C-alpha cells in the first residue's frame, strides 16, 4: 500500500492570507437602466452594508472600475459553472472550455500563465483563487496524478467543483487582478482572484420570493460519416505511390477489418451516429425566499439543474441549498452565518481512450468499433452491463462576528470549505478480452480558516482621514484519497467495494471476489498550514488623493524550514481627477487615475519541497507509474517523479505593477477603463534534467522567471438613445504576452518533456520542425561529402518531408526544431450588444480569441495510420468517431507513411494552424411583464426570455472547433463539441 503523510516542521497553526477585506466599492456606480459589460461582471442587488462596512477602506480612488451587467443576465444562459459564465466577461481573464461534455473542469487564467504547462498538474498551479462570500475555496489537489499512467482523466469523479455555486443566487462577481485588490488575499492570490458575493435580503425588507426556471435542449451536431470503403480509398493513394504493385490487399500488415470488402460491419451503412449523438434536455429551477426586519434578515434557496451533452447520453446534475442569516441584536454587535451545500453527479463519456487510460490497460486494438449502427448498439448493450457512479458533495460555511464602537471595528470569522468525491466503477469481461475490472475512489479536500481583523478609522481633520488595519489569519488545508482497482474478478455478477474499511472483516485486505495479486490499493494524504499577519494604512486627502500601504508576513508549512517565512509589501495610489479639476463640470461623472505595485508569495502546492532531499526509490514496472506493493508485501514510497529535491529552496514570488485610468460620462452611459500591467513571477522551481546516474531523471531547481505584460481595455455606452429605443454596446479586450526571462542556474535554454524552454521566448510556444515540401526523388536529397541528409541518422528518401536544416549541418535533429506560435491567445475578449424597446430587450454576445495557434493532432494521427495501426499506444485508440469525416485532407502532402523518419509526426508546422476565432456565443430575447402585472406582483418583477448559445464560429481552422484544443494546445479529436443550446425561461420576484 502506498502511503504519504505530511508532518509540518513548525507552526501547526496554518493560515491563510485571505479573505474579504475590501468591500465591493463601485467606482462607476451606475443607477441608470443602462447595462455595462466589461472588466467586472457586477449584478446590483440590495445587500446589507454591515458586512462590507467593516472593511470600507476608502479605496474609491485606487480600486479599478467595475462595469455592470443587468441582474438577470448572469442566470439567463443555463450554464452550470462559474468559468462558463465568466468566459469573455472580464478583460484579462481567459477561460478554456476544452470539452463540451457537461460538468467537466474548465480552466481560468488571469493575465496569462506564469509557469510552463507540461501536464494537468501545472494547470492547477496557474489557477486563480475563487472566493465565495469571503470563503477562499479549496481546489482539488493534483497529487493523484502521481499514480496515473496517463495524463488524461483524473482518477475519481473529476466533477467541476465550481458548479456548486448557483448562478441565480449571485449578486456580483469581481475579477481582481492588480496588486491593490489582490494583496489582501496574500500568496493564494498570486494568480488573481474571482470574488463572488451572494444575494442577501435587504434590511427592513418584507418577505420576498424569487423563482428562476428554464428548460431547453442541446442540439446534436450534423456530421458526415464514413465507412471502410472511404478509408480504403484514402489509403489507396499511398499504396499507389509507395508500393511496387499498389495493392493494399496483398499487404500482409494491412488491417483485417479493412481487408474484406464484403464485411457489412465495416463496409455497410455508416449509421452509427444515430446511436452515438443525441439531443440533450437541459433544465433548471432555483427558488429563494428572503425577508428581514430592522434587526435581522435571512435568505433560503433551493435549486436543481441538469445540463445534458450531445453524445453518449452524458449528463450533469446538481442539487443545491443555501441559507444565510444576519442578526444585529445590539447597535454595536452583528452576526452573520451562511451555509451552502451542493450535490454534483455526472454521467460520463464512454470513450475507449479514457477508459483504457483509467484502467492502465490497453487491449488488442486491431479491430476498432464498427461504423454500423447494429454493431455499435451491440457494443453499447455490453457497456450497459457496467456501472459508473460518479458524484461529489460540497459544503461551505461562514460564521462571523462584528463588533463596532465608534471608529473601532473588530471582526472574527470561522470559515469552512469541504468537498468529497466518490466514484464506483465496474466493467464486465465482455468489454476487456474476458477480463473484468472494478475500482473505487473516495477523496476529500477540506479547508478551515480562522481570522481576526481590527480596524480603526482615524479622522485626522475635516479634510483627511487615516484607516488602520491589523489582521491575523490561520488556515489549515488537508487533502486525502483512497483508491483501489482490480482485474479478473471471479465473474461479472459480483461487484464489490474494494475500499472495505472494516478491519474486523476477514476479507479486509484480500477480497475473495478478486485474486489477491490483481488488487491494487493506494492511500495518500497531504496537509498544508498557512499563517499570515498583515497591517495596512490607507490615507485619504480631500477625497482627491488616496494612498495605501500593506505589509504582510506569511509562513507556509510547504516551504523549507530555512525559508519558512516571506515578507511582502504592496502600495497603491489614486488620484480623483474629477474632484481635482472637473468638480463643476457636469459632463464627467467620474475620472480617476490609479497605480499599484506589490509583491506576493507563491505557495508550493506540493509538500515535497518542504521535505528536502529524499532518497527513497519508486517501485514500479513498465505500464504502471507506481506499484503499491511487491510480491504481496506493502511498500512505502514517495512518487516524486519530478526529481531530486535539494536544500535552500526559497519562496517563489510575483512582483506586479499596474497603472489604470477610468472615466465615465454623464450622458449616454459612456465609460472607459484602461489598465497596463507587468506581472513578473520569480524564483519558481523547474524540473531540470540531472542526476541520471543516481536514478533520478530530474532535479527540482529554483530560478525560473516568467514575465507577463499586457493591456486591458473596457469601453462602451449607448450608441443610440431615442425615445423608447436604446442600443447599448460594450467591448472588453485583454492583450497579453509572456516571456521566459531566466532559467535555473543561469541557463539559456532547456529541454523538458519534449518541450523547449528558451530565455527570451514565450513559455507556451510549440517546438516544431518547419516544412518546406516533399522530396520527389532520391536525387533531390542534399548530399555533403557523400553523406545524404538524414533525420537522426536515418537517411531521407523520396516521399519524405523536406524539413528545414536550421543549422546547416546536413542533419535534421532536435537542434533544427524552432519555437513557433503560442496556444494562449495574445488577445481575448468579448463584444456585447443590448437593444431595448419598451418592455423588450435583445442581447448579443460575441466572444473572440485572437493571435493563437493550435496543433491539429487529429489530422496527424489520421495520416500516420501505418504507425498507429495496432501500435498499442493510447493515442492510437480509435473511437467510434474515427468513422467521421473531419478536416481538410487536401491540404496535406502525401508523404511516405512507411518511412522511418515518422513523416506525419504532430510536432511540425504542417499541422500548426491558426486557432483564432470569433463566436456568437449568446443571443437572448426577453420581455418584462412587471408593468403589465404590477398590481398582481405587488412591486415584484416577472421577466420571460428565450436564449440560444454557441450559434456559430468564424475561424480559419480546418478542424471542428479551435476552442476545444487541450491544455497544451493540441486538438486530439477526442473531446466532445461544445453544443449549440436553446432554452426558454422566466424570472419571478414578488
**Cα(316)–Cα(111) distance, integer angstroms:** 30
In order of 212, 554, 658, the CA distances from 331 in angstroms are 35, 35, 40
* pLDDT mean across residues, the chain: 86
Q: Residue 590: which of 539, 657, 538, 543 has the closest Cα? A: 543
HSE-CB of 380 using CA atoms within 13 angstroms: 19
Whether the CB-CB separation of 916 and 850 falls below 8 Å is answered with yes
Average pLDDT over residues 587-605: 94
Span between the terminal Cα atoms of the chain, in Å: 58
Q: Is 845 helix (H, G, I), strand (E, B) or coil?
A: strand
Whether the CB-CB separation of 769 and 907 falls below 8 Å is answered with yes
How high is the pLDDT of residue 616? 58
The C-alpha torsion from 141 through 146 and 149 to 153, rounded to 10°, is 0
Angle CA(677)–CA(681)–CA(684) in degrees, nearest 5?
170
Whether the CB-CB separation of 651 and 566 falls below 8 Å is answered with yes
How high is the pLDDT of residue 510? 57
**Cα(47)–Cα(13) distance, integer angstroms:** 34
Phi, psi of 164 (to 5 degrees): -70, -15
Count CB-CB contacts under 10 A for residue 655: 17
How high is the pLDDT of residue 203? 67
In order of 476, 623, 760, the CA distances from 479 in angstroms are 10, 27, 37
**Cα(884)–Cα(863) distance, integer angstroms:** 14
What is the DSSP annotation of 435-446? --EEEEEEEEEE
Helix and strand numbers, DSSP H then E, in the chain? 15, 45
Which H or E element spans position 136? strand 135-136
Q: Give the CA radius of gyration of the chain.
A: 30
HSE-CB of 443 using CA atoms within 13 angstroms: 29
> Which residues have a Cβ under 8 Å from the Cβ of 441 and sit 6 or more positions away?
155, 156, 157, 421, 422, 423, 424, 481, 482, 483
Residue 401's beta-bridge partner residues?
Answer: 335, 412
How high is the pLDDT of residue 491? 86
Task: Give 909-942 pLDDT, tens digit per residue.
Answer: 999 999 999 999 999 999 999 888 776 767 678 9
Q: Residue 116: which of 921, 981, 967, 726 has the closest Cα? A: 967
**Cα(551)–Cα(356) distance, integer angstroms:** 51
Task: Give 95-148 pLDDT, tens digit per residue.
Answer: 999 999 999 999 999 999 999 999 999 999 999 999 999 999 999 999 888 888
Q: Residue 448: which of 12, 23, 3 has the closest Cα? A: 12
Q: Residue 848: which of 735, 987, 971 has the closest Cα? A: 735
**Cα(941)–Cα(656) distance, integer angstroms:** 44
Task: Give 36-77 pLDDT, tens digit per residue.
Answer: 333 334 333 333 333 333 333 333 333 343 433 444 576 778
Q: Residue 955: which of 980, 919, 920, 911 has the closest Cα? A: 919
Which H or E element spans position 423? strand 408-427
Average pLDDT over residues 490-505: 73
Is the per-residue pLDDT at 732 higher than 90? yes
Query: Hey, CA dihedral for 789, 794, 799, 803, is it positive or negative?
Result: negative
Whether the CB-CB separation of 549 and 570 falls below 8 Å is answered with yes
Whether the CB-CB separation of 385 and 428 falls below 8 Å is answered with yes
The C-alpha torsion from 602 through 608 and 613 to 614, rounded to 10°, is -170
> Which residues have a Cβ under 8 Å from the Cβ of 120 and sit 6 or more positions away?
142, 145, 151, 154, 967
Average pLDDT over residues 731-759: 94
Which H or E element spans position 700? strand 698-722
Q: What's the pLDDT band for 809 if we cut at 50, 70, 90? A: very high
Which H or E element spans position 180? helix 179-182
**Cα(548)–Cα(570) distance, integer angstroms:** 8
Task: Give 820-842 pLDDT, tens digit per residue.
Answer: 999 999 999 999 999 999 999 99
Q: Residue 625: which of 143, 975, 974, 118 has the closest Cα? A: 143
Average pLDDT over residues 574-586: 91
**Cα(538)–Cα(455) distance, integer angstroms:** 11
C-alpha grid cell for residue 490? 471471479
The C-alpha torsion from 485 through 486 and 492 to 497, rounded to 10°, is -50
Q: Is 745 helix (H, G, I), strand (E, B) or coil?
A: helix
Q: Is 359 helix (H, G, I), strand (E, B) or coil?
A: helix
**Cα(868)–Cα(898) distance, integer angstroms:** 11
Phi-psi region of 458 (alpha: psi -120 to 50; beta: other; left: phi over 0): beta
Q: Is 360 helix (H, G, I), strand (E, B) or coil?
A: coil
Query: Hey, CA dihedral for 146, 149, 150, 155, is it positive or negative?
Result: negative
**Cα(181)–Cα(597) distance, integer angstroms:** 11
Is the per-residue pLDDT at 11 higher than 50? no
Which H or E element spans position 235? helix 228-242
At the topology level, CATH places domain 41-217+279-758 in Maltoporin; Chain A (2.40.170)
C-alpha grid cell for residue 87? 468566459
Burial of 5 from C-beta contacts in 10 A (0-12 / 13-18 / 19+): exposed
Which H or E element spans position 686? strand 671-689
How high is the pLDDT of residue 26? 27
**Cα(231)–Cα(234) distance, integer angstroms:** 5
Task: Give 627-665 pLDDT, tens digit per residue.
Answer: 665 555 666 565 456 678 888 899 999 999 999 999 999
C-alpha grid cell for residue 537? 494604512
Q: Residue 945: which of 836, 869, 816, 840 has the closest Cα? A: 840
C-alpha grid cell for residue 693? 546516474
Task: Give 869-899 pLDDT, tens digit per residue.
Answer: 878 788 889 999 999 999 999 999 999 999 9
Task: Give 366-425 pLDDT, tens digit per residue.
Answer: 889 999 999 999 999 999 999 999 999 999 999 999 999 989 999 999 999 999 999 999
**Cα(196)–Cα(130) distance, integer angstroms:** 8
Spell out a b/e string for 855-868, using b for 16 or more CB atoms within 10 Å of the CB, else e: bbbbbbbbbbbbbb
Give the start-to-end residue ranges of the domains of the chain.
41-217+279-758, 770-816
**Cα(214)–Cα(459) distance, integer angstroms:** 51
Average pLDDT over residues 160-182: 92
**Cα(973)–Cα(955) distance, integer angstroms:** 17
> Which residues have a Cβ under 8 Å from the Cβ of 325 and sit 6 or more positions away?
296, 297, 298, 335, 336, 337, 338
Amino acid at each position: 500500500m502506498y502511503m504519504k503523510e505530511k508532518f509540518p516542521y513548525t507552526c501547526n497553526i496554518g493560515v491563510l492570507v485571505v479573505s474579504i477585506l475590501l468591500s465591493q466599492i463601485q467606482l462607476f456606480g451606475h443607477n441608470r437602466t443602462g447595462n455595462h459589460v466589461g472588466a467586472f461582471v457586477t449584478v446590483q442587488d440590495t445587500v446589507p452594508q454591515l458586512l462590507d462596512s467593516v472593511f470600507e477602506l476608502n479605496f474609491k480612488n485606487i480600486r479599478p472600475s467595475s462595469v455592470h451587467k443587468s441582474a438577470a443576465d448572469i442566470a439567463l444562459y443555463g450554464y452550470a459553472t462559474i468559468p462558463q459564465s465568466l468566459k469573455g466577461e472580464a478583460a484579462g481573464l481567459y477561460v478554456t472550455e476544452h470539452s463540451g461534455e457537461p460538468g467537466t473542469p474548465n480552466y481560468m487564467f488571469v493575465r496569462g500563465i506564469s509557469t510552463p504547462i507540461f501536464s494537468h498538474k501545472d494547470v492547477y498551479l496557474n489557477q486563480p483563487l475563487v472566493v465565495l462570500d469571503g470563503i477562499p475555496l479549496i481546489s482539488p489537489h493534483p497529487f493523484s496524478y502521481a499514480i496515473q499512467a496517463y495524463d488524461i482523466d483524473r482518477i475519481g469523479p473529476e466533477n467541476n467543483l465550481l458548479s456548486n455555486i448557483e448562478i441565480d443566487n449571485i449578486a456580483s462577481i469581481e475579477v481582481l487582478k492588480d496588486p491593490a485588490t489582490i494583496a489582501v488575499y496574500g500568496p493564494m492570490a498570486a494568480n488573481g482572484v474571482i470574488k463572488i458575493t451572494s444575494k442577501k435580503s435587504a434590511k427592513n425588507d418584507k418577505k420576498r420570493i424569487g423563482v428562476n426556471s428554464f428548460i431547453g435542449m442541446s442540439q446534436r451536431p450534423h456530421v458526415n460519416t464514413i465507412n471502410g470503403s472511404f478509408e480504403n480509398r484514402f489509403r489507396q493513394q499511398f499504396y499507389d505511390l509507395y508500393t511496387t504493385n499498389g495493392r493494399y490487399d496483398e499487404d500482409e500488415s494491412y488491417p483485417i477489418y479493412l481487408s474484406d470488402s464484403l464485411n457489412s460491419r465495416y463496409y455497410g451503412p455508416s449509421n452509427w451516429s444515430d446511436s452515438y449523438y443525441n439531443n440533450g434536455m437541459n433544465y433548471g429551477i432555483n427558488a429563494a425566499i428572503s425577508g428581514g426586519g430592522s434587526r435581522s434578515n435571512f435568505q433560503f434557496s433551493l435549486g436543481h439543474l441538469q445540463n445534458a451533452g450531445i453524445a453518449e447520453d452524458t449528463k450533469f446534475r446538481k442539487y443545491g441549498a443555501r441559507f444565510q442569516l444576519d442578526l444585529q441584536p445590539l447597535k454595536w454587535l452583528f452576526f452573520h452565518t451562511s451555509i451552502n451545500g451542493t450535490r454534483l453527479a455526472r454521467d460520463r463519456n464512454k470513450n475507449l481512450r479514457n477508459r483504457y487510460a483509467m484502467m492502465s490497460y490497453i487491449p488488442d486494438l486491431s479491430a476498432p468499433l464498427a461504423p454500423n449502427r447494429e454493431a455499435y448498439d451491440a457494443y453499447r448493450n455490453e457497456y450497459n452491463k457496467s456501472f459508473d457512479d460518479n458524484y461529489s458533495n460540497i459544503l461551505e460555511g461562514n460564521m462571523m462576528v462584528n463588533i463596532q464602537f465608534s471608529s473601532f471595528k473588530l471582526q472574527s470569522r470561522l470559515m469552512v470549505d469541504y468537498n468529497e468525491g466518490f466514484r464506483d466503477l465496474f466493467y464486465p469481461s465482455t468489454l476487456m478480452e474476458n477480463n473484468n475490472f472494478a475500482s473505487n475512489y473516495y477523496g476529500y479536500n477540506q479547508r478551515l480558516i480562522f481570522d481576526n481583523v481590527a480596524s480603526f478609522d482615524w479622522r485626522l481633520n475635516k479634510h483627511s482621514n487615516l484607516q488602520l488595519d491589523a489582521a491575523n489569519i490561520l488556515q489549515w488545508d488537508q487533502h486525502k484519497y483512497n483508491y483501489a482497482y482490480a482485474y479478473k474478478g471471479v465473474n461479472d455478477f459480483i461487484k464489490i467495494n474494494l475500499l472495505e474499511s472494516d478491519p474486523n472483516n476477514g476479507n479486509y485486505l484480500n477480497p475473495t471476489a478478486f485474486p489477491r495479486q490483481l488488487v491494487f490499493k493506494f492511500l495518500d494524504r497531504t496537509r498544508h498550514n498557512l499563517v499570515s499577519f498583515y497591517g495596512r494604512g490607507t490615507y485619504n486627502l480631500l477625497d482627491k488623493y488616496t494612498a495605501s500601504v500593506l505589509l504582510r508576513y506569511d509562513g507556509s508549512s510547504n516551504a523549507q524550514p530555512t525559508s519558512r517565512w516571506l515578507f511582502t509589501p504592496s502600495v497603491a495610489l489614486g488620484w480623483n481627477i474629477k474632484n481635482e479639476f472637473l468638480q463643476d463640470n457636469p459632463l464627467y461623472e467620474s475620472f480617476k487615475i490609479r497605480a499599484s505595485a506589490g509583491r506576493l508569495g507563491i505557495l508550493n502546492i506540493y509538500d515535497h519541497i518542504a521535505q528536502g532531499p529524499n532518497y527513497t526509490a519508486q517501485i514500479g514496472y513498465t505500464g504502471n507509474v507506481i506499484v503499491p506493493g511487491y510480491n504481496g508485501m506493502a511498500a512505502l514510497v514517495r512518487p516524486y517523479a519530478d526529481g531530486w529535491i535539494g536544500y535552500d529552496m526559497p519562496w517563489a514570488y510575483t512582483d506586479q505593477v499596474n497603472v489604470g485610468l477610468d472615466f465615465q460620462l454623464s450622458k449616454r452611459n459612456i465609460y472607459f477603463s484602461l489598465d497596463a500591467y507587468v506581472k513578473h513571477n520569480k524564483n519558481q522551481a523547474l524540473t531540470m534534467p540531472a542526476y541520471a546516474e543516481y536514478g533520478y531523471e530530474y532535479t527540482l531547481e529554483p530560478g525560473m522567471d516568467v514575465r507577463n505584460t499586457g493591456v486591458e481595455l473596457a469601453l462602451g455606452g449607448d450608441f443610440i438613445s431615442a425615445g423608447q429605443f436604446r442600443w447599448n454596446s460594450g467591448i472588453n479586450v485583454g492583450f497579453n504576452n509572456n516571456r521566459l526571462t531566466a532559467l535555473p542556474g543561469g541557463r539559456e535554454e532547456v529541454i523538458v518533456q519534449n518541450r523547449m524552454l528558451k530565455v527570451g521566448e514565450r513559455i507556451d510556444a510549440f517546438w516544431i520542425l518547419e516544412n518546406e515540401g516533399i522530396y520527389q526523388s532520391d536525387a533531390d536529397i542534399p548530399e555533403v561529402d557523400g553523406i545524404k541528409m538524414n533525420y537522426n541518422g536515418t537517411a531521407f528518401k523520396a516521399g519524405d518531408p523536406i524539413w528545414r536544416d536550421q543549422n546547416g549541418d546536413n542533419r535534421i535533429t532536435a537542434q533544427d526544431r524552432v519555437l513557433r506560435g503560442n496556444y494562449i491567445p495574445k488577445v481575448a475578449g468579448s463584444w456585447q450588444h443590448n437593444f431595448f424597446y419598451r418592455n423588450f430587450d435583445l442581447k448579443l454576445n460575441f466572444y473572440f480569441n485572437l493571435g493563437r495557434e493550435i496543433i491539429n493532432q487529429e489530422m496527424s494521427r489520421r495520416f500516420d495510420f501505418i504507425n498507429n495501426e495496432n501500435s498499442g499506444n493510447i493515442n492510437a485508440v480509435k473511437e467510434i468517431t474515427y468513422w467521421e469525416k473531419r478536416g481538410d485532407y487536401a491540404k496535406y502532402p502525401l508523404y511516405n507513411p512507411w518511412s522511418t523518419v515518422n513523416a506525419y509526426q504532430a510536432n511540425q508546422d504542417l499541422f500548426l494552424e491558426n486557432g483564432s476565432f470569433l463566436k456568437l456565443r449568446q443571443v437572448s430575447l426577453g420581455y418584462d411583464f412587471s408593468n403589465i402585472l404590477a398590481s398582481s406582483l405587488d412591486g415584484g418583477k416577472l421577466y420571460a426570455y428565450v436564449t440560444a448559445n454557441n450559434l456559430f464560429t468564424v475561424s480559419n481552422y480546418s478542424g471542428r472547433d479551435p476552442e476545444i484544443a487541450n491544455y497544451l494546445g493540441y486538438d486530439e479529436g477526442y473531446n466532445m463539441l461544445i453544443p449549440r443550446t436553446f432554452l426558454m425561461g422566466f424570472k419571478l420576484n414578488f
